[in-house]
Structure 1
């Protein structure tokens, strides 16, 4: 990672591209599913065998729910969920070939990325008695941002629960911060792309419980 950070700092100095600035600051965290997926691929022989047999797919909870609710007919995610994995390039709006190569994660495992508002098929009729259309997928903090009507550039929301999440609407430009904020896709609806900068502390709930004791 040090070599990548150094190379990207040089490229950012030469090109002034924010994409290289983001890459120079990028670090893997335990919150990213990317590291857990890499561990699974390296250590579970049954998963390795499934990949060889082309019978293995990966997705976040939205992808799993969609796949289950449609009885396996749909396999997809949206831009907001994809951007939280640590495997997605918010500047190119696609899965990162660099990061997946570093972690030896085959791109074939990853779901197609669709708009947040999209026709994702219908819930199988056997589940609820009627086929219910699935017309949106959206990630956790992004859905809170949308629900609290933070639609304008500069709007901020703070969620405090098990963790603390501070999100800033950065308009249609991903923003990386030396202070630890990382770029996410808030949502994509048609031609509109809304980006967020997020900072978080994952142990807020634990810290409060400790302070109460």
Structure 2
């Protein structure tokens, strides 16, 4: 939920200072955007599209936001009823923001976890999550291995009819995704951001 394919300086100049949760019990709650190199929250219009696809009521869902950043994706899910949301983040300043926000919201179903998003997903292989949110650093297009590893780990962490949200600097093809055991359910593009809603391919 974070990084663009432009320079860190340009990203810092154009990044918003806050974003808002757009639906559910915490609608309009402001989330601070820290001044961190490359931090770029998922745009509101993209989040709105995603949660129109997922449905407005996520009651009972178990979710993991693997590269949480501002927490906008995971907290949006929790606001709409997800019973368990794990926000995984490595950056200490962003982690502190997430902990403060979840405390202010009294978000008892949300857990903030410091660590690597891929490792966190691998630890949850076979746990049958309902949704995984993936928005790794764009890295100026140099993070292909990270994307592939995150997708593969997410595939093992979600249940058979679960969903994986992927935000990336390019569109991932059906053939590439099929090699990881995934298929496109919905996809779109907003500026330099390609976003995908993926589902596991049926086990043969």
The two structures share one fold, judged by TM-score above 0.5: no
User: Hey, which of these two has a bigger chunk of helix by percent?
Assistant: 1
The higher relative CO (CA closer than 8 Å, separation ≥ 6) is in 2
Q: Which one has a bigger Cα radius of gyration?
A: 1
TM-score by length of 1: 0.28
